[in-house]
Structure 1
Amino acid sequence: MSSLNVLLRKEWRENMRNFKLYWIPIVFIIFGVIEPISNHFLPEIMKSVGNLPEGTEFTWPEFRGEDIFVSLMSQYQMIGILIIILAFMGSISGERKSGTATLLYVRPMSFAQYFLSKWIVVNVVVLASVWLGFFAAWYYIGILFNSVAAGEVFTFLGTYSLWLVFAVTVVLALSAWLSSGGAAGLSILILLVFQIIDGVVGAYWTVTPWKLSVYASTAFGASADQSAFWMSVGLTVALIIALVFFGIYMTKRNAAKTLV
């Protein structure tokens, strides 16, 4: 356990030195602030720059605060996931390529501790960043739109956080297996392309990790099949555990490829 604590501190300091601990939260907070403000002032913006013919009347939909949360989640689902992939695709493969991992492998630690230290710290950074982004949005939603119940917000965030943990685990497991470029490409396929496919033809199935964002939005009063929801949660947790073990195995297997 002492080795794990040392590795956790090492990972935390590394994320501070490369500024991921700062710029990733800032990016998510900026999106969280922009989403409610831009939606609130969108009618005025379109009237001023839309070049609509004089006398044209256009009825804009009346957004609720709950709609803004779901809209922001859609932004995070594409841009946010891409940020996570690009920021952490080289977490393990990059250390193999640079030779940094050699300095760690010769120390009294296990490959499980090495992988888990990265998994824990990256999840902390990602979840804290996303939650700060949603909290920033929540503040402006309360000012510009309607008040959203705390219970609904935390249910929404809890469900969506499980998807984020799955996304982080995919990226790190692939980083342990492949090069940084390979991890990025396959992560984009699994997390972004499959997400698009699920959105297009996903009506034919209800149990999948890619449905968690949909189930998260049902926290705001929409109906959902609870059995499918809990089966998706169980499947996602099982996949996360399997990916963690896979990542540990590939970290150990590829240790010999580390440059000296």
Structure 2
Amino acid sequence: MTQWRVLYRKELMEMIRNFKLLWIPLVFILLGVMQPISSYYMPKMLDTLGGLPEGTIIEMPLPTGAEALMSVISNYGMLGILILVLSAMGIVSVERQNGVAGMVMSKPVPYSSYILSKWAGLVTITLLSFFIGYLASWYYTNLLIGSVTPDRIFQSFAIYGLWLVFVVTLTLFFSTVMKGSGSVAFISILIIATISIVTSIFNEKMKWSPATLTGHTGYLLQSGDVQPNFLATVLLTVALIVLILYFTIQIFKNKEILE
């Protein structure tokens, strides 16, 4: 456990040195506040820019607070995930290429401690960035559009946060399996997109898929309740995360022994 804590602190210090703890939360804040601000000011901007026939009345219905936050989640589901994957793509592969991983493992460090410290670092920056950005979007949504109760905010944060943890866990797996960072990013995004698309097409057969956590988040924001298959989805997602981590550790161990 002491070795794991040392490695975890190393990950956090590395994120501070390369400014990940600054720019990733800032990107999530920007993505979070963009939707409520644009929804509120868009009719006024169109009216100010002009170019429409005289007497034209622009009527754009203002979304509810829950709808605005669902749009924020949608932004995170595209650009947010892209940012997370790009920031995590070289977390193991780069260290294997430049020999840092070999130096660390030459000491009596368990393979599990190395991988789990990487995972904990990714989860920390992911949930921290999402939490800060989501709070910023909630603030502007309450200010400009409509109120959403705190319990729905924190519950929806937990649900969608689990999906983001699944995403970075998958990225860590491919960063361990592959050497090229570009290939890691491409395959990770491809797999995540495939899971989401297949889940949306075969909704009934894939109702326990981790990708349905996005829909569960929106449902909770709208109704304040969860759907019948929610618990099964959460349990399956957690089980998959644990399984992916197990295989990541085993693959990393085998690669280090062979090299």
State the 1:150 CA deviation: 0.7
State the 1:59 CA deviation: 2.3
Does the Cα contact within 8 Å between 1:35 and 1:68 map onto a contact in 2?
yes
- Whole-Å Cα distance in 2 between the matches of residues 102 and 176 of structure 1? 13
- Whole-Å Cα distance in 2 between the matches of residues 192 and 79 of structure 1? 12
The residue number in structure 2 matching 1:241 is 242
Distance 1:257 1:68, change over 3 A: farther
State the 1:129 CA deviation: 0.3
SS of residue in 2 equivalent to 1:243: helix
Does the Cα contact within 8 Å between 1:176 and 1:247 map onto a contact in 2?
yes
- Whole-Å Cα distance in 2 between the matches of residues 134 and 247 of structure 1? 30
Flag the structure with more relative contact order, 1 or 2, with Cα contacts below 8 A and sequence separation at least 6.
Answer: 1
Distance 1:133 1:257, change over 3 A: farther
- Whole-Å Cα distance in 1 between the matches of residues 171 and 31 of structure 2? 22
- Whole-Å Cα distance in 2 between the matches of residues 178 and 15 of structure 1? 22
State the 1:203 CA deviation: 5.3
In structure 1, what residue type is equivalent to 2:243?
A
Distance 1:56 1:188, change over 3 A: same
Distance 1:242 1:128, change over 3 A: same
- Whole-Å Cα distance in 2 between the matches of residues 166 and 95 of structure 1? 22
- The reply to whether residue 198 of structure 1 matches residue 199 of structure 2 is yes
SS of residue in 1 equivalent to 2:87: helix
- Cα offsets for 1:116-140 (capped at 9, x unmatched): 0010111011100011001011111
The residue number in structure 2 matching 1:137 is 137
| Structure 2 unaligned blocks of 5 or more | none
| Structure 1 unaligned blocks of 5 or more | none
Does the Cα contact within 8 Å between 1:215 and 1:224 map onto a contact in 2?
no
The residue number in structure 1 matching 2:210 is 209
- The reply to whether residue 120 of structure 1 matches residue 120 of structure 2 is yes
The residue number in structure 2 matching 1:44 is 44
SS of residue in 1 equivalent to 2:228: helix
- Whole-Å Cα distance in 2 between the matches of residues 58 and 30 of structure 1? 27
The residue number in structure 2 matching 1:104 is 104
Moved more, 49-58 or 4-13: 49-58
Distance 1:103 1:156, change over 3 A: same
State the 1:201 CA deviation: 4.6
> Equivalent pairs: percent with the same residue?
38
Normalising by structure 1, report the TM-score. 0.93
- Whole-Å Cα distance in 1 between the matches of residues 169 and 50 of structure 2? 44
Does the Cα contact within 8 Å between 1:163 and 1:213 map onto a contact in 2?
yes
Does the Cα contact within 8 Å between 2:70 and 2:221 map onto a contact in 1?
no
In structure 2, what residue type is equivalent to 1:191?
I
- Whole-Å Cα distance in 1 between the matches of residues 192 and 35 of structure 2? 23
In structure 2, what residue type is equivalent to 1:105?
M
The residue number in structure 2 matching 1:83 is 83
Normalising by structure 2, report the TM-score. 0.93
Does the Cα contact within 8 Å between 1:166 and 1:240 map onto a contact in 2?
yes
Does the Cα contact within 8 Å between 1:131 and 1:157 map onto a contact in 2?
yes
Distance 1:224 1:143, change over 3 A: closer
Does the Cα contact within 8 Å between 2:171 and 2:185 map onto a contact in 1?
yes
Distance 1:49 1:169, change over 3 A: same
State the 1:50 CA deviation: 6.0
State the 1:25 CA deviation: 0.6
Distance 1:57 1:201, change over 3 A: farther
Does the Cα contact within 8 Å between 2:25 and 2:132 map onto a contact in 1?
yes
Aligned-residue CA RMSD (Å) = 1.8
In structure 1, what residue type is equivalent to 2:30?
I
State the 1:193 CA deviation: 3.7
- Whole-Å Cα distance in 1 between the matches of residues 99 and 50 of structure 2? 55
- The reply to whether residue 2 of structure 1 matches residue 2 of structure 2 is yes
The residue number in structure 2 matching 1:18 is 18
The residue number in structure 1 matching 2:71 is 71
